[in-house]
């Protein structure tokens, strides 16, 4: 896979709690220069990113209920509404992990549906945080994401004890087979080889803070 094709799969990410305004500006400039698909930032930076990106084609993704997924539906809805007003294009929502593991599937589905209804036609991704889930829980979460109208399922927040794995992407691909839902792999994807492995396993989007290094790896193969 060449660098251009790979760049169009990447959401250049900075979700660090200590990220500064200057860091977000740098992220936006790098995304424009390298023609990444988009950026991913915490909600408080969406408005700033919008100003820095101007009229570029770079999409702004933000996170909802991040990184634990355990905030109330009402707070997730409020967070989504504010991010919409600030200019977010896409929303990565963390599944309510505790409710999923407690088999409170109606609660989980209603949580997803509430954000789906709030963000309208914008892209909604459901972060599963796979490192905390059994294979059957991952499968169930993917199926709920489909039923609730999510556009993507995503492997990880990057803040848990484990990130994206080839095995999880393959499992997720099987769970969503025959639907319009896609896969975003994120967490621990630091090299060109990591990124290509995830795409070959079934991911169509990559979330990473190592985007520049990954592109350098792609260019070294030309």
Which residues are designated catalytic? 92, 154, 184
What's the rounded Cα separation, in Å, for the pair 204 and 12? Answer: 14
For the record, the structure tokens of 180 come out as: 């319009």
Check if the beta carbon of residue 154 is closer than 8 Å to that of residue 182: no
Phi-psi region of 136 (alpha: psi -120 to 50; beta: other; left: phi over 0): alpha
Check if the beta carbon of residue 141 is closer than 8 Å to that of residue 168: no
Burial of 30 (0-12, 13-18, 19+ CB in 10 A): middle
Look at residues 133, 121, 64 and name the one whose alpha carbon lies nearest to residue 93: 64
Check if the beta carbon of residue 100 is closer than 8 Å to that of residue 137: yes
Query: Alpha carbon 57 to chain centroid distance?
Result: 18
Backbone angles phi, psi at 218, to 5 degrees: -65, -45
Check if the beta carbon of residue 60 is closer than 8 Å to that of residue 38: yes
What's the rounded Cα separation, in Å, for the pair 50 and 44? Answer: 11
């Amino acid at each position: 896979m060449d660098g251009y094709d790979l760049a169009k799969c990447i959401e250049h990410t900075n979700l660090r709690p200590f990220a500064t305004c200057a860091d977000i500006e740098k992220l936006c400039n790098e995304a424009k220069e390298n023609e990444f698909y988009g950026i991913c930032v915490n909600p408080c930076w969406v408005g700033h990113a919008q100003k820095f990106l101007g009229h570029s084609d770079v999409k702004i993704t933000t996170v909802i209920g991040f990184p634990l997924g355990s905030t109330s539906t009402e707070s997730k809805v409020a967070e989504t509404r504010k991010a919409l007003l600030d200019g977010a294009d896409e929303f990565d929502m963390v599944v309510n992990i505790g409710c999923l593991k407690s088999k409170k599937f109606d609660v989980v589905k209603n949580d997803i549906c509430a954000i789906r209804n709030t963000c309208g036609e914008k892209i909604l991704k459901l972060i599963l945080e796979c490192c905390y889930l059994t294979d059957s829980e991952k499968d169930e979460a993917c199926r709920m994401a489909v039923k609730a109208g999510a556009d993507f399922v995503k492997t990880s927040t990057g803040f848990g004890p484990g990130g994206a794995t080839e095995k999880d992407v393959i499992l997720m691909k099987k769970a969503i087979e025959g639907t319009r839902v896609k896969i975003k792999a994120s967490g621990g994807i630091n090299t060109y080889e990591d990124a290509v492995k995830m795409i070959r396993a079934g991911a169509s989007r990559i979330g990473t803070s190592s985007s520049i290094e990954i592109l350098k790896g792609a260019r070294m193969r030309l």
